[in-house]
Structure 1
Amino acid sequence: MLHRHPYATALALQVAPFDYDTPNAIIHAHRRSDEDYDVVPPSTSTSSAFAKRAPETSAIRRKIERRRSGKFVANHAGVTLTLNGQAHGVRCPMFSQGATVDGLIEVLNPAGVMRIEAKIEGYVEVFELAGNGKTRTEVLSEVIALWECPKEPYDADAIAALDDSSSVYGNGCFARSSKQTLVDLCPRVIPFRTTLPSHYTDLEGERYELPPSFLERLPSFPGFKGDVRYSIIVSVTRVREMGLRWKKNFVSRTPFEYRPLTRPSGAFPFPYRSKSKGSQPVTKFTSSIESYDPLGQHMKSQLYLPTSQTCPMHEPIPFSLKLSGSEDLVELFSQDISLPSFLPTLSSDILSTVLRGHHRTPSTASTSSTESSTYSGHLDSSYARTDLPKIRVALVRQVCVNTSSAGLYTDGSQPSKSQLHKSTVIGEGVLYASRLNESSITFSGEVSVDPRSGVRCAGFVTKNLAVRDMLIVSIKQPRSIHSPLKDFRQVIPIHFTTDPYTKKD
């Protein structure tokens, strides 16, 4: 029999004091030796296998091409950069993996121009003002357009070839009429076309996927940021009017957003499986809620994710949480609530609206806990008074930064490796209904990425910067009664995709 879960509002809105959601906690930093250094702490998930991600299909590409039929134009001091294949009216151009960067460079006044170079550049930068300084890793560097004057027109031979009476002043500078005769050497328009790579290789020979554009700041550490940035740099070298030996370099930098497009390898729901087999990913994640009594009975937890661990970023993630055990343990999650903690029953639609409208404001204090969150909030005390365990399903994004400096210290010692963690709750789960029998109780619901969380890309890993997403199931036992069970926390790695599954053409 299907029952409306009477505590859905309380369970979803409770802010349990777990490691990843401690009020007034945002960031921690701890130093590790080279031996125990790890970019991301090991996951407690029973399985870390992801469903394979597939590149965008031809149908998605055609959709993007139809949507991005406009041009992006940037003008800097007489040098115009035009990029084709962009959406109309965008302020920043955007490209995906394997995209063609197609456009042209136009010079309004080519007089005296000796060299024009266009370069596409990308880098990962970790900056810590009060620590080890700046660490920059180049992930993309390619010259996409280059023009150089075929012969230096301003050397002694060029001067001798000109008419002395009308072309050169007594001070050795060209007259404007002579300089005008050299304008034809520089083209006014230079087209370019290149294809973005999908991977890069660092200085140590390790191969990584090209990371998406990303920016993260840690408020508790002034001057600290982790940044992944891409841009197109146009450099123009020309001689000045009154001095042939003086060259002036003009550099314009046009940033663009790199956003790889991915989709799941198949359509969900996937079958209920605890091990991957062929194209069928893992969807069942089993753990146990331990008892305080070593000889006591544990409770079995089974989480079912029909979408597997690879989920579209902008779609809800359904889940089913089944808790199995003896009748006495199951009764802990289904007993009648006391009068002070009574909450009215809401319909699913109203409940979903209420929960998604609850937004926590960022906190700016620091803590020394092992994990922390940038979201915290204070709820009405009526939500906290319940004799039922508080069940919470949340999406959490963890940013890990390696702030170790390069090179040696002045005393010749190696720089120490350090690591900063920032965990942010980016989505809260909603419990809609429960199914109860003598040996188990099952909760059904869904969790989504909050649009206000600012998540625009999937997780990625580089040498100095790692971004990972996870689904955390936590059960906080009530303190008003003596519970035989301990608090429970399970971490399931999640990999987001930018698009849902579509059938191949």
Structure 2
Amino acid sequence: MSASSLPAYRPSSFARSPASPVYTPEPQAYEQRLALNRVRERPSTEFVKQSKTGGLSLRLSEQEDNATLPAYGCGDSVEGTVDLAKPESANCVEVRVEGSLRLKEIAEGGTTSHKLCLSVVTLWNRETDRRPCPASLPFSLTLPTTFSDGKETYPLPPTHQARLPGVPGFDATIEYIVCAAVHKGKSSSLLRIGSSTVCTPFVYYPRSRPAVPLPRAARQLSGGYPTFLDSPEWRCYRSIMAPKVAGLNDILTKFYVPAARVFSLSEPIPFYVVFASSAISLAAFLPLGPTTTRLSGRQPTRVQLLRQTNVDVRYVMPVGPGAVAEHYSRNEVVFGTKTDIWQTVEIGEGAFRHMGDGADWICFAGELRVNSQIKLGGFKAGGLSLKDYLVLSMTPPDPSKTPYSELRQVVPVRLTTDSWSSDGAGQTFSASDYSIPILASESRHPVNAPVPGYRPA
């Protein structure tokens, strides 16, 4: 078939299609922005650390003004320069970045440590470099995002220090350091005479944010029972308060929290509590219920944010004569000692307000703010873990004279460094920071039990 016999091309379907929309940098009324990630502007100040003699300087770029220590986030590069006052006397110039996690048992003296990262780069070596040693040598070392303790792989944990009092007590330290060294002796010599080193610790502060925004809170109930809580945005945790007095009924407690259970450190955490029972039973419970004003002394009904620091003593075995080094499972008791040691502290308490009531129910709304001193969320790494929980509790001041047994409802949550953002403007995050995290097991814990140990789902 010749080319002349071919039919003429007519893009009829294309011709009938509507014109392509005109591009605009901002969404129009019928459009919705799904994501916009802009690289946040890095600071331009240098952090400088000099050796005692002044002959060696370590300059770290992209640091905040007047920072007491350099700071880096997830996957960041430790960048800067090494400056030498007398480069002609150097034989070798190196930079190293290292991190460590140390767990020490105070009473028995057992200790363990993990290398979280170790990177060494030779910037100049007289034996391999033909050019003279420059007075200023740039470098860049990228921090890993994970580490392995030989059994499991974990995200690289943040800088942290904790002390668990008691017998046995534990010290836990996670620290990072960057060092520059200039060697002036022969590289084959064990003692490099005239070598200089300058080191500085730095803060590793990985950032995270919730994958979804908080649900919109209701200002006040306009009608009857708060049906808006029975939606996918809210998750209900139910528990029963049993009566201790004849003639009273059980009280059903519904503790509503945002379904994702992931909250920013800087934003208030909303919640609702509904008590449902007969009118007589609710009237008997009200003196023990939430109060809408701050009163002196401990209140019977509270919502708290608790942080549990946990050390698995399998990772910290005693050393010395008579030491026993056996593998045993979590929560097992060995020679009368539990294999988990933990400390729980309050890092926030909720405030209540009355939302509405009916013939057989009463509803309270509340919000909880995280203590401003808390700067990082929970993590788990090599025998050390930090876990956060929302806890609804009712603890009578005098249990022998109160009509209802105490209540304790525990909800595992996760805290993030940053707030949710619709477009991510001014922030950079890895893909995993958008996903809803795997939290603790959803199995119900006993009402009166202490804050439970963490279990992967």
User: By the TM > 0.5 criterion, same fold?
Assistant: yes
Check whether the contact 2:248–2:281 (CA below 8 A) recurs between aligned residues. no
What code does the residue aligned with 1:396 have? L
Match of 1:147 in 2: 124
Residues 1:440 and 1:86: Cα distance change in structure 2 (over 3 Å):
same
- Give unpaired runs (5+ residues) of structure 2: 1-34, 217-227, 327-333, 425-457
Residues 1:418 and 1:238: Cα distance change in structure 2 (over 3 Å):
farther
**Aligned with residue 387 of structure 2, among 463, 468, 484:** 468
CA deviation map 1:82-129 (0-9, x unaligned):
112111111111111022322111112224322221111111111233
CA deviation map 1:247-271 (0-9, x unaligned):
3443322111111111111112078
Check whether the contact 1:124–1:228 (CA below 8 A) recurs between aligned residues. yes
Match of 2:266 in 1: 314
Residues 1:456 and 1:145: Cα distance change in structure 2 (over 3 Å):
farther
Q: How far 1:489 moved relative to its partner?
A: 0.5
Match of 1:165 in 2: none
Q: How far 1:235 moved relative to its partner?
A: 2.3
What code does the residue aligned with 1:114 have? N
Check whether the contact 1:330–1:438 (CA below 8 A) recurs between aligned residues. no
Residues 1:395 and 1:332: Cα distance change in structure 2 (over 3 Å):
same
Residues 1:273 and 1:433: Cα distance change in structure 2 (over 3 Å):
closer
Residues 1:133 and 1:407: Cα distance change in structure 2 (over 3 Å):
closer
What code does the residue aligned with 2:391 have? I
Match of 2:276 in 1: 324
Q: How far 1:273 moved relative to its partner?
A: 5.9
Match of 2:405 in 1: 486
The 5 Å alignment of 1:403-482 reads 403-404=313-314, 405=316, 410=321, 413-414=324-325, 418-451=339-372, 454-477=373-396, 479=398, 482=401
Check whether the contact 1:214–1:229 (CA below 8 A) recurs between aligned residues. yes
The 5 Å alignment of 1:215-294 reads 215-220=161-166, 224-239=170-185, 247-269=193-215, 272=229, 283-292=235-244
**Aligned with residue 107 of structure 1, among 80, 84, 91:** 84
Match of 2:102 in 1: 125
Match of 1:58 in 2: 37
Q: How far 1:198 moved relative to its partner?
A: 1.7
Give the Cα separation in 2 of the matches to 1:100 and 1:480.
57
Q: CA RMSD in A?
A: 3.4
**Aligned with residue 213 of structure 1, among 159, 162, 175:** 159
The 5 Å alignment of 1:360-379 reads none
CA deviation map 1:121-141 (0-9, x unaligned):
111111233323321111111
The percent identity for this pair of structures is 27
Give the Cα separation in 1 of the matches to 2:109 and 2:191.
41
CA deviation map 1:174-233 (0-9, x unaligned):
xxxxxxxx9x732222211233222122223x1101111111123556984211111112
Check whether the contact 1:283–1:304 (CA below 8 A) recurs between aligned residues. yes
**Aligned with residue 395 of structure 1, among 300, 305, 316:** 305
Give the Cα separation in 2 of the matches to 1:425 and 1:224.
20
CA deviation map 1:416-475 (0-9, x unaligned):
674321111111211122422211111111111122xx3111000012211011111111
Match of 2:138 in 1: 191
Check whether the contact 2:234–2:259 (CA below 8 A) recurs between aligned residues. no
CA deviation map 1:10-49 (0-9, x unaligned):
xxxxxxxxxxxxxxxxxxxxxxxxxxxxxxxxxxxxxxxx
Q: How far 1:314 moved relative to its partner?
A: 1.3
Match of 1:69 in 2: 44
- Give unpaired runs (5+ residues) of structure 1: 1-55, 153-181, 275-279, 338-344, 356-378
Give the Cα separation in 1 of the matches to 2:288 and 2:406.
21
What code does the residue aligned with 2:104 have? F
From the two aligned structures, give the one with the greater helix fraction: 1
Higher relative contact order (CA 8 A, sep 6+): 1
Give the Cα separation in 2 of the matches to 1:244 and 1:460.
41
Match of 1:363 in 2: none
- SS of 1:332 mapped into structure 2: helix
Check whether the contact 1:81–1:103 (CA below 8 A) recurs between aligned residues. yes
Check whether the contact 2:99–2:117 (CA below 8 A) recurs between aligned residues. yes
Give the Cα separation in 1 of the matches to 2:36 and 2:106.
43
Q: How far 1:151 moved relative to its partner?
A: 5.9
Residues 1:466 and 1:412: Cα distance change in structure 2 (over 3 Å):
closer
Give the Cα separation in 2 of the matches to 1:134 and 1:245.
30
Residues 1:124 and 1:245: Cα distance change in structure 2 (over 3 Å):
closer
Residues 1:318 and 1:463: Cα distance change in structure 2 (over 3 Å):
same
The 5 Å alignment of 1:153-192 reads 185-192=132-139
Give the Cα separation in 2 of the matches to 1:409 and 1:116.
40
Higher mean C-alpha displacement, 471-480 vs 391-400? 471-480
> Structure 2 length as normaliser, TM-score?
0.70
Check whether the contact 2:57–2:84 (CA below 8 A) recurs between aligned residues. yes
The 5 Å alignment of 1:338-349 reads none
Aligned residues: 363
- SS of 2:185 mapped into structure 1: strand
Give the Cα separation in 2 of the matches to 1:314 and 1:392.
21
What code does the residue aligned with 1:147 have? W
Give the Cα separation in 2 of the matches to 1:500 and 1:107.
43
Check whether the contact 1:128–1:225 (CA below 8 A) recurs between aligned residues. yes
Give the Cα separation in 1 of the matches to 2:178 and 2:311.
26
